[in-house]
Structure formats: structure tokens, C-alpha cells
Amino acid sequence: MLNILVSIKQVPDTTNIRINPDTGTLIREGVPSIINPYDIVALSLAYQLKLRFKAKVTVITMGPPQAKNALKEAVEFGADRIILLCDRKFAGADTLATSYTLAEAIRFLQREELFDLFLFGKQAIDGDTAQVGPGVANRLGIPVITYVVKIENLDPIHRKIVVHRKTEKGIEVLEAPFPILLTCEKDLSPLPFVPLENILKAQRAEPETFNAEGPLSFQRDKLGLKGSPTQVKKVYTPELKRIGKIYNLDDVSLDDVVSKILDVLRERDLL
Amino acid sequence: MKEVWVYIEQEEGKIHPVSFELLGVAQRLASDLSGRVSALLLGYKVEDIIDEIFAYGAEKIYYLDHQVLSYYRHIPYVKGASELAKKYKPEIFLIGATPLGRDLAGGVATHLETGLTADVTELSIDSETGQLLMTRPAYGGNIMATIVCPHHRPQMATVRPRIFPVPERKSSIKGELIRESVELHEDEAKVKRLAFIPKEKAVNLEYAEVIVAGGKGIGSKDGFSLLAELAKELKGELGASRLAVEAHWIGYEHQVGQTGKTVRPKVYLAFGISGAIQHRAGMQNSDFIVAVNTDPEAPIFQIANLGIVGDWKKVAEALLFAIRKERSTDG
């Protein structure tokens, strides 16, 4: 049996974010929380693998109490076990503290059962760091392949996988043994069709909750804000200053504006 | 002496231009710290590029040469970079925010148990504390955050390509080459490359001199074929906003912005692009921005050097016609 761990994050939908122009802070009211879109890909892939092979899927997230909703949604994608890492002491974690907390929880779960495949989104759309997946892999001492766009072959008998990884110059075809951590690009897996029974199951699902006190023990100084080497010094809204000249085609002729563009190109030897 | 390290990203002995950009900004940071710029080079038989690295401003190069490093793989590259950083303890360690660089940086910071700031677009030294101020867009570019790493060293950042200019090349300058060795084994690499499929048509947005870009206002796939003709005529590349990409009018490899590419062409022609913050984050460093949009209130006009309120298609067609005419009279 294939044993899969998926790590997800609940994020504000950044396409709907508004900024208070006076304070430069986020207006959170009315901004929906969603599962990070790249983590949806990871969940979809896990579901697809579950349909193809015999697989068990465990989904983990770290977040505030309402992150429970993200885990319930994961049950629609066939999650068999859902775990919420939730404690005020976990809050304010940067990527180093986050990867520590997740890796310790995964280590704890691995006392019971070893995972073959770890699936993470390539990055979360709120922080866009792409650092947590590689961080967890390094803490667990397992190999990682980032930016995976395709699973070419998965061989549960010989316990190995062949994947396509996207780089700037093309696609690398990479082979790796289990256990392996993959970070998922958008195109890796389509959204699955979710059967009604999963939706019903999701409504009833309750995650297991881990906090700073148990069931495992953490090094306190490595958690949350305290365990985060990076600090936010300042947050501000990028300023706009009008720098150029604006012409309206109601007032000036098309020939005039075209010749202005040509001048710009000519001055820079681009014609 | 405090060292500012720059990771030299190379594939098959070809240096990624972001490494030169980082050598440039590292010179400014090192001078503010009265320190020096050092480069970290990992690879296999890439001696040929050493003079290039000196020419762009490295005073020292730490070079780790090993067969296992013949192409990028996470485990051996992370091990090599981490062990050398542990040995020499740089004050600052900069890595390009490319797919390979980000992959590497996340691993190295974890081994060094230090802070790592992703995708930085501004770097400076705080004159009071001597700390590195790392500024980056967050929440899809809606806000900017300045991050510090006060108590851990090195202060690490991945830096977006095309934010900083490539410094002047001084070919006569030579520095100190330090050959390093770290014990690496093929077995511990775990991952093996079976094949490489090069991109069919490489879109080189980041380093294009001219970009002709379209947004939601273009209205259709067909609109992009007109822009493609214009781009071709100007020997430029075709760019797009996220909305145009999400409408499937054009491929993701053309996307400019926070979730796409950062560009700094000599001229950026924006047609039917409103200029949402996500888009501006990727193109505001262009030398000259021309914007055409029907909405006079579109935020793109706030950063345009030349703004035209009107129908994008009329302007694009007239411009294409005028360029072709100019070409034919040139003979």
C-alpha cells in the first residue's frame, strides 16, 4: 500500500485582497479563506493516486482553529486522516519555524507508519516563498523534487517514481526512490470528480489536533514567532507617482501618438 | 572581514545572468559594511567561467568542483553550499530567485538554521544596525514587507531576476580563487536525471529589450496575434497580464507580474492592461513604459512614461503600419 502525506495551507484569497490605504494593512473582513491553489493540486494528485493504487492519504496543516475547514475539504479529496497543528505558540512562524513544526509532527506520525510520498504545493499564494517543502525534506533527511509538472511513472513494487520537473530551460525527467517529497506545479493534476459520499463524509469529519503540549513534544524556542529568525520590520503599500505624459485620442491624432512611440523606439535603437 | 556571498548559478558552464546582477548589488552592500564580495561556485569542471565571475566584481571565489555536481541536484548542492557557509560564516548570502536558486536556498537555510527571505526586490544596509533590509512583495504584491534577520547569520535572501542591473564588466580584474572540497557521493544524491527535454520555443521575457504586452482589454486570442506581429517586427517578446493568461488567450510563459516574470526591457508597450498591482510588480522597472488603455483612470497610467487613452487596436495597427513603412523606406 502507498502511504501518502499531503501538507496544505489555508490562505486568504489574494486575488480579492484589499488594502486599507491609510494604514497599509490588509482588510481581512470579507476576504474568503481558501486552500492554497497549489495544495489543491497536491490533494488532487493524492486522490488520483488513491484511485489507481491502494493508498492511504494523511493530510496535515498548521493554522488557526478555522483551518479545520481546509482539512474537512481535504476529506472530499479522499483524505483518510486529517491533522491540525494548532496552538498560539505556533503562530507567527516564518518558513524555518514552520518547517520545524511540520517536520516534528510528521516524524511523530512516522513512529506509527512511514510515508512513501510527501506532497506539498510549490508555494503558497500569500507568502510565495516556496521554502517550506524543501525545508521539511531537509529536516526529515529525504530527497525533494520541486516544481513537478507530471508523474511519468510510479512503481509501488520497486518503490520509485519518475517525474517531470519544470526548469527555466525545459523539463528535467528525474527518477527517485521512495520516500520522496514533491512540490506540485499547477498543471500536475486536474481537479478530480468528487463523489457525493466524500462530501457527506467531509461534513462529519473532525481533525485530530496537535498542540504545543502534545501528543508530541516540541523544542519551545523553535516554535512560532520565537523560533523565527526573520522579522517583519515594516509593511507598506507600494506608492504610485505619475511620471509621464498622458494623451487622449479624443484630443490628439493617432498619427501624433504613433510618431511619439516611434521616437521612443528610435532613440533606443529599437527600430 | 564581513563577506557578502553570491551564489553563482550555472548550468553546463553557463552562468545565469541573475548571478551577475547579484554581484552588482553585493558590491554596494559590501561597501556599506566595509566588507568584501565573495562568490560561491559549485559544479563540475567549470573553471572556464571563473574569470567572468571576477570580472563582474567577486573578490574571492570559493569553488567546489565534483562530479556529483555535474548537474543541479538538491541534496549534493545543498550539502556543498551549507558546509562551505558553515566554514566561512558569511554575513549575507544572496541567491537568485530562479527555480534552481529557490530550490537550493530553502535547503541551505534549513541546514544553517537561519532566516531566508524569498523573492526580494530591494536590498540595503540599515545604517544604524548594520542589518540587511530585505524588501519583498507579499499577498500577491498588494503590500511590500521589509524583513530583517537580526540574530542569525548569514542573512539569506533569494532575489528576483531583473530587479538589479548587471554591473560593469572589468575584464582585467582578478581575485583570489579558493578551491574547496566537501565529501560528496553519488549514492546520497538519490535523484537521477534520465533525460532533459528543452523548451520548444524559448520565451525569453526576462531579458527581452522590447516587450509588447496585452491584458484583459485585448478581448480575445485574435487580439494577441496582432500584438505578436508587432512584437516580431520589433524583435521583442510578447507579454501578458494574469487575466489574459487565465482567459487562455496566451500561455503562462508570457505572464508578467508577481506570479509571472519580472522584466526590465528598454521599452514596455502595454496594450489593454489596467495595471493591477500584481502586474506592475513585474514591469515597473522597465526603462520606458508606453500604455494604451480606454480607461483614463487605469493605474497603469500612474507608472507610464507615455500614456495614450484610446482604443488599443487602433494604436497597435497604426504603429505596426508605421514601423513597416519606415522599414520599407529604409530599403
For residue A185, which phi and psi values (nearest 5 degrees)?
A: -85, 165
Contacts of A131 (CB under 8 A, 6+ apart): A95, A99, B102, B105, B106, B109, B116, B118
Which member of A234, A237, A270 has the closest CB to residue B267?
A: A270
Residue of B98, B105, B85, B108 lying closest to B38 (CA atoms): B85
Minimum distance, in Å, between the CA of residue A8 and any CA atom of chain B:
17
CB contact under 8 A, B310 and A250: yes
CB contact under 8 A, A236 and B144: yes
Residue of A238, A4, A42, A224 lying closest to A122 (CA atoms): A42
Residues of each domain in chain B carrying CATH 3.40.50.620: 3-189
Q: Where are the alpha helices (DSSP H) in chain A?
A: 37-52, 68-76, 95-109, 132-140, 196-204, 254-267
**Length in residues, chain B:** 331
Q: Pick the residue with more confidence: A24 or B319?
A: B319
Please confirm whether the linkage preceding B154 is cis (ω < 30° from 0).
yes
Residue of B278, B98, B160, B40 lying closest to A16 (CA atoms): B278
Enumerate the residues of chain B whose CB falls inside 8 A of the CB of residue A162. Answer: 194
Of chain B, the percentage scoring pLDDT greater than 70 comes to 98
* CB count in 10 Å sphere of residue A3: 19
H or E segment to which residue B195 belongs: strand B192-198
Structure-block grid coordinates of residue A242: 505619475
Instruction: State whether residue B205 is helix, strand or coil.
Output: coil
By the 8 A CB rule, do B114 and B124 touch?
no
Q: What is the pLDDT of residue B137?
A: 85
In the CATH scheme, what architecture does the domain B210-330 have? 3-Layer(aba) Sandwich (3.40)
Substitution target from B72, B190, B193, B212 for chain A, most A beta carbons within 10 A? B190
DSSP letter for each residue of B145-161: EEEE--SSSSEEEEE-T
Q: What is the pLDDT of residue B304?
A: 93
Q: What is the DSSP letter of B237?
A: E
Spell out the per-residue pLDDT of chain A, length 271, in tens: 899 999 999 998 876 667 666 655 667 677 889 999 999 999 999 999 999 998 999 999 999 999 999 999 999 999 999 999 999 999 999 999 999 999 999 999 999 999 999 999 999 988 889 999 999 999 999 999 999 999 999 999 999 999 999 998 889 999 999 999 999 998 899 999 999 999 999 999 999 999 999 899 999 999 999 999 999 999 887 776 667 889 999 999 999 999 999 999 998 888 8
Which member of B119, B266, B289 has the closest CB to residue A268?
A: B266
Of chain B, the percentage scoring pLDDT greater than 90 comes to 85
Q: What is the pLDDT of residue B258?
A: 84
* Burial environment of residue A239 by CB neighbours within 10 A (0 to 12, 13 to 18, 19 or more): exposed
Beta-strand pair A180-184/B210-214: unpaired
Q: What is the DSSP letter of B47?
A: G
Domains plus CATH for chain A? 2-222 (3.40.50.620)
Q: What is the pLDDT of residue B143?
A: 81
Q: What is the pLDDT of residue A4?
A: 98
pLDDT 10s digits, B13-29: 999 999 999 999 999 99
Q: Which amino acid is at A133?
A: G
For residue B242, which phi and psi values (nearest 5 degrees)?
A: -65, -40
* Burial environment of residue A212 by CB neighbours within 10 A (0 to 12, 13 to 18, 19 or more): middle
Residue of A130, A179, A171, A134 lying closest to A150 (CA atoms): A171
Q: What is the pLDDT of residue A13?
A: 83
Residue of A105, A90, A95 lying closest to A59 (CA atoms): A105
Residues of each domain in chain B carrying CATH 3.40.50.1220: 210-330
Instruction: Among A160-164, B196-200, B262-266, name the one with the lowest average pLDDT.
Output: B196-200
| ipTM entry | 0.90
Enumerate the residues of chain A whose CB falls inside 8 A of the CB of residue B204. Answer: none
Structure-block grid coordinates of residue B80: 556543498
Residue B183 confidence class, pLDDT cut points 50, 70, 90? very high
By the 8 A CB rule, do A21 and B299 touch?
no
Quick one: how far is CA A139 from the chain centroid?
Answer: 18
**Length in residues, chain A:** 271
Q: How far apart are the first and last CA of chain A?
A: 63
Q: What is the pLDDT of residue A241?
A: 64
Q: What is the pLDDT of residue A22?
A: 63
* Burial environment of residue A57 by CB neighbours within 10 A (0 to 12, 13 to 18, 19 or more): buried
Residue of B126, B148, B150 lying closest to B135 (CA atoms): B148
What are the CB-based long-range contacts (under 8 Å, 24+) for B51-55?
A: B51/B171, B51/B174, B52/B15, B53/B8, B53/B15, B53/B19, B53/B23, B54/B173, B54/B174, B54/B175, B55/B169, B55/B170, B55/B171, B55/B173
Q: What is the DSSP letter of A143?
A: -
CA atoms of B71 and B251, how far apart (whole Å): 28
CB contact under 8 A, A244 and B75: no
Q: What is the DSSP letter of A168?
A: S
Structure-block grid coordinates of residue A213: 503540549
Instruction: State whether residue B309 is helix, strand or coil.
Output: strand
Enumerate the residues of chain B whose CB falls inside 8 A of the CB of residue A133. Answer: 106
CB contact under 8 A, B267 and A268: yes
Q: What is the pLDDT of residue B142?
A: 73
Q: Is the pLDDT of residue B200 over 90?
A: no
Query: Considering only alpha carbons, which residue of chain A is nearest residue B290?
Result: A261
Hey, what CATH topology would domain B3-189 get?
Rossmann fold (3.40.50)
Contacts of B255 (CB under 8 A, 6+ apart): B239, B240, B241, B242, B245, B261
Beta-strand pair B60-65/B176-180: parallel
**β partners of residue A214:** A211
Q: What is the pLDDT of residue A242?
A: 63
Mean pLDDT of B242-250: 94
Q: What is the pLDDT of residue A185?
A: 94
Q: What is the pLDDT of residue A237?
A: 79
Substitution target from B16, B117, B143 for chain A, most A beta carbons within 10 A? B143
Q: Pick the residue with more confidence: A87 or B206?
A: A87
**β partners of residue A34:** A11
